[in-house]
């Protein structure tokens, strides 16, 4: 690749890769919310002691999402409008999933579009982001407790 320099990873006999796991819990009053969780992920990275590695952040519920984008209010409103056009909440009878007594089929579809997880490189003990990148929890069926998993591995 142009501009890349291959680097060898030093191997120390008997050294093990570190692994750190943390859960974040959310219970939003609103049905749909986008929460910037970058600070909480940064704090988990600090606690992990990992300097070089990978950080996985994933929603542990099928009606919520974790994604990376810009923390800009207009963009979040655009997401809300766009997602609601793609998978409108009402009328709830338009979805076969809701025949089970649920009313959240739209939330499952919105999660499918926005994604389950992100993986961010860890370089020099920091999340290795591009310009403006932040990590968000997207809630599409609020009103109950849900969790996000942070799993960090590296050295």
Is residue 3 pLDDT above 80, yes or no? no
Cis-peptide into 122, omega within 30 deg: no
Q: Per-residue pLDDT tens for 44-77?
A: 999 999 999 999 999 999 999 999 999 999 999 9
Matching CATH number, 18-91+103-154, of 3.40.50.1100, 2.60.120.460, 3.30.465.10, 1.25.40.10: 2.60.120.460
pLDDT band (50, 70, 90) for residue 11 = low
Is residue 33 pLDDT above 60, yes or no? yes
Query: Distance (Å, rounded) from C-alpha 40 to C-alpha 47?
Result: 11
Q: Per-residue pLDDT tens for 70-99?
A: 999 999 999 999 999 999 999 999 999 999
Per-residue pLDDT, averaged over 7-31, amounts to 81
Locate the domains of the chain by residue range: 18-91+103-154
Q: What does pTM read for this prediction? A: 0.89
If you search the block for the tokens 């590695």, which residue do you land on? Answer: 53
Cis-peptide into 131, omega within 30 deg: no
**Closest of 145, 115, 138 to residue 35, by C-alpha:** 138
Q: Tell me the CA distances in angstroms from 71 to 79, 90, 141, one per residue in order.
A: 12, 28, 21
């Amino acid at each position: 690749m142009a501009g890349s320099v291959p680097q060898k990873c030093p191997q120390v006999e008997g050294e093990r890769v570190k692994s750190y796991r943390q859960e974040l819990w959310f219970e939003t009053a609103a049905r749909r919310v986008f929460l910037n969780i970058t600070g909480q992920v940064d704090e988990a990275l600090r606690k992990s002691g990992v300097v070089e590695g990978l950080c996985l952040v994933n929603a542990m519920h099928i009606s919520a999402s974790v994604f990376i984008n810009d923390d800009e209010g207009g963009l979040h409103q655009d997401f809300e409008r766009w997602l609601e056009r793609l998978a409108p909440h009402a009328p709830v009878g338009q979805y076969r999933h809701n025949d089970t007594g649920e009313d959240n089929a739209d939330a499952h579809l919105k999660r499918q579009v926005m994604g389950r997880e992100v993986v961010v490189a860890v370089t020099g003990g920091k999340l290795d982001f591009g310009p403006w990148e932040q990590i968000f929890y997207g809630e599409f069926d609020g009103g109950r407790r849900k969790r996000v998993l942070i799993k960090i591995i590296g050295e």
